[in-house]
Chain A
Amino acid sequence: NAGVTQTPKFQVLKTGQSMTLQCAQDMNHNSMYWYRQDPGMGLRLIYYSASEGTTDKGEVPNGYNVSRLNKREFSLRLESAAPSQTSVYFCASSAWDNEQFFGPGTRLTVL
């Protein structure tokens, strides 16, 4: 099992460009999450999907959109990137017990 996979691993964008971060899990988990991690700020939840067909805002949703494509896949879209969105983005998934398992992350730089 690959667990949680994310693409791309690295990305550099110019201000105003758009992009989609992809996440997939093969653990048959119902819930999936997107976090960002910034120095000194810890992990902050952007959006989550408790189950297929539902999405909810987390702590820092502004500037992002998500799509739960199916049970396996959960994508994060930046419509118009800003330098404040420079961060490391992690996708995670969990079963009913809330034990979240993380993907390897995407390092995004917005110039």
Chain B
Amino acid sequence: QKEVEQNSGPLSVPEGAIASLNCTYSDRGSQSFFWYRQYSGKSPELIMSIYSNGDKEDGRFTAQLNKASQYVSLLIRDSQPSDSATYLCAVNIGSARQLTFGSGTQLTVLP
């Protein structure tokens, strides 16, 4: 079992819809959870961080964390074609200073 797993996708949604991206992790002791967006040929860009159970909203993005079930999700409301990218989930596994990344979910928002 991988330490951080994401739906590999690809995921396609129509413009204006809600895109839902999911991530599960193996370490119950994990404390830090992040979502990164990566456009093709570019570097990962941090879009959300979450540290406690519940929801965290930032503009059109909502991160949801459920430590008991060991999953973290990202919702993108009113999806735009510019949201088309690969989304990476990252979790601190073991050492607090290290992040383990999932393999990413490719999202396409169709005009």
Which residues of A are in contact with B by a Cβ distance under 8 Å? 31, 40-45, 48, 50, 58, 90, 97-105
Contacts and interface: CB of A to CB of B under 8 A. Distances in A.
17 contacts: A42-B88, A42-B102, A43-B44, A44-B101, A45-B99, A97-B49, A98-B34, A98-B92, A99-B49, A100-B34, A100-B90, A100-B99, A102-B44, A102-B45, A103-B43, A104-B43, A105-B42
Cβ-closest 8 pairs across A and B: A42-B103, A43-B101, A102-B43, A98-B32, A50-B97, A102-B44, A105-B43, A42-B101
Contacts of B43: 90, 102-105
B110 interface: no
Q: Give the secondary structure class of B's interface.
A: loop
B26 to A, nearest CB: 14
Nearest to A45: B98
Contacts of B99: 45, 98, 100
Interface residues of B, number: 20
Question: Which one of B32, B101, B104 has the greatest number of beta carbons of chain A within 10 Å?
Answer: B101
Given A41-B103, A42-B103, A100 B46 contact: yes
A99 B88 CA distance: 14
B96 interface: yes
Contacts of A100: 34, 46, 90, 99
B65 to A, nearest CB: 14
Interface string B65-101: 0000000000000000000000010101000111111
